[in-house]
Structure 1
């Protein structure tokens, strides 16, 4: 993972550092939102990034884009992925790594460290909290964003200010009661329920995932689940499971010497022929050709 961007100087704020790493300015921003708070929207960056330690903590909302965004944890990428609708808190003074599988759309709300200390809430922003369910914080952020693109008017400015204050109060109130997101009551199509289903598939791609079972986990009908899932991820539940299996197979082609028949069975395909057709349809090459190509690239 290559480190991009300069470390910056003490005078640099969060926005300047992120701009340097991404090589671009935010899509939209709200300068200073009173007492050192600032909001920025960042879009269309792909790849892996190392973000230097920031002077102030940030509250980040995954607004849209690809569902498989990971962060670096000790010696590898996290098993858990962020999906649209998740929130993340990045503390000040902590370098972070990010893996973005496609275009991404996030909103960052920077919080002044000195102000947080004065309000005796700095402790809750002292550690990383990655991809947690926060329906209210996400909803407020999306509404603020929508208003920023609307025609400006005096009453709209007051409305945005009120929503920003509500979001600030919500963030400062700390994590939801109960600690474990599984214990938090959520709506039928909340980000957390989709997140749980997606991570279950990623953890065991070879498993059996009937549409009816996934819909039951989300607490909605199969047809409604398909619509909600595709809106959040950009692909259908069937294609998500297929991609998870093919990604696992692609990894095993390089890391193991399993025959194609055994590899197909290990990744949940009904037969070797089914696996080979799906692999070529998705990656544009056969499993055997891909394995040979990777072997040559490694000089084996």
Structure 2
């Protein structure tokens, strides 16, 4: 529908993708709108949206990039990541495989007076938000279930919890050193994910990550995959490959040296992993990207 003579977020995205959302809930009459979108490989240019949008990457191939000034971002969004797109900012998207995301758009009236509303004033791409992802997945599972009065009330409560979580500020706000709980928590998962992203070359063994989470390794694997859509090993591997991808362009390190500093056991292991993930050899990627810079 149109708001004050302009399309809302849902209609603009529908126009760009050429399809309606798979499922939707809410409307801008209520000040918010939640939609699930599934799209396949391609590049998409999204014009400036009238409302800011919080996006959760729930599934699909882990290779989604956005346009950043003069090229595609070195890092990629993977299932389990969240992205904030501010109002009034055109964006470009590169999708290598199926894209499966949920968007939550909120009106300026909903954001007015919120303590962390400024987080919606700038682009924030592919950050870890385990609680936001877990809430979104739970909402989706209920939306696809048979409708009942009690389920409608439950879904509304979950959406309200997701909105409250988002409006409380991004995960980067505050960084407490101790959380006084013994059970597994979203904070602990977020702490583990950030530690991997900060130092992907470190070992990050399953036993060590599970110890930080305070659960057994097998239970940690289940919890991690439920929250992010991928295994802990895949998450560590993706973080290493993203760092290697940056260094291929920004440094002159040999492939052997680069594989060592990014945590791979050998150059051949690095090359196989890179080709499997990105579809080309690391040396070919370096040449391709450097040609594009000239």
Aligned to 1:42: 37
SS of residue matched to 1:105: strand
Q: TM-score, normalised by structure 2?
A: 0.68
Q: How has the CA–CA distance of structure 1 residues 194 and 65 changed in structure 2, closer, same or farther, with 3 Å as cutoff?
A: farther
Against the structure 1 CA distance between its residues 234 and 152, is the aligned structure 2 distance closer, same or farther, given a 3 Å change threshold?
A: closer
Alignment-derived partner of residue 124 in structure 1: 117
Cα distance in 2, alignment partners of residues 295 and 92 from structure 1:
31
Give the aligned partner of residue 179 of structure 1. 173
1:42 to partner: Cα distance: 1.4
The separation in 1 between residues aligned to 2:8 and 2:229, in whole angstroms, is: 34
Q: Superposition pairs for residues 1-300 of structure 1, below 5 Å?
A: 10-30=5-25, 32=27, 34-46=29-41, 49-65=44-60, 84=79, 88-97=83-92, 102-113=97-108, 115-116=109-110, 120-121=113-114, 124=117, 126-128=120-122, 130=124, 131=127, 133=129, 135=131, 140-161=135-156, 163-164=158-159, 170=164, 174-175=168-169, 179-180=173-174, 182=176, 185=179, 188-190=184-186, 192-249=187-244, 252=247, 256-275=251-270, 290=284, 294=288
Distance in 2 (CA, whole Å) between partners of 1:292 and 1:108 is: 34
Aligned length: 287
Give a deviation string over 1:194-234, Cα, whole Å, max 9, x none.
44434433444333323222223333222222333344445
Contact 1:22/1:45 (CA < 8 Å) preserved in 2?
no
1:293 CA displacement: 7.3
Q: CA deviation at 1:241?
A: 3.2
Counterparts of 1:34 and 1:151, CA distance in 2? 25
Cα offset for 1:14? 0.7
1:26 is displaced (CA, Å) by 0.8
Rounded to whole Å, the distance in 2 between the matches of 1:272 and 1:164 is 46
Following superposition, the deviation at residue 144 of structure 1 comes to 3.5
Q: What is the Cα deviation at residue 97 of structure 1? A: 5.0
**1:49–1:267 CA distance, 2 compared to 1 (3 A):** same
Cα distance in 1 for residues equivalent to 2:289 and 2:28: 54
**Segment of structure 1 superposing worse, 50-59 or 68-77:** 68-77
User: Are 1:44 and 1:104, in contact at CA under 8 Å, matched by a contact in 2?
Assistant: yes
Q: Which runs of 5+ in 1 are unaligned?
A: 1-8
Report deviation, 1:266. Answer: 3.0
In structure 2, the CA distance between the partners of 1:158 and 1:65, relative to structure 1 (3 Å rule), is: same
Alpha-carbon contact 1:65-1:233 (below 8 Å) kept: no
Q: Matched residues in 2 for 1:111 and 1:165: separation?
A: 12
Q: Closer, same or farther in 2 for the Cα pair 1:116/1:42, shift >3 Å?
A: same
C-alpha distance 293-217 of structure 1, shift in aligned 2 (>3 A): same
Tell me, what secondary structure is at the counterpart of 1:41? Answer: strand
Q: 1:150 to 1:184 in 2, by over 3 A?
A: farther
Q: What is the CA deviation profile of residues 113-159 of structure 1, one whole-angstrom value per residue up to 9, with x for unaligned ones? A: 3x437x65498265247446473x65554443333222234454455
The equivalent of 1:6 in structure 2 is none
Instruction: Determine the C-alpha separation between the residues in 1 that align with 2:259 and 2:56.
Output: 37
Larger of the two Rg values belongs to structure:
1
Q: Distance in 2 between matches of 1:90 and 1:184?
A: 31
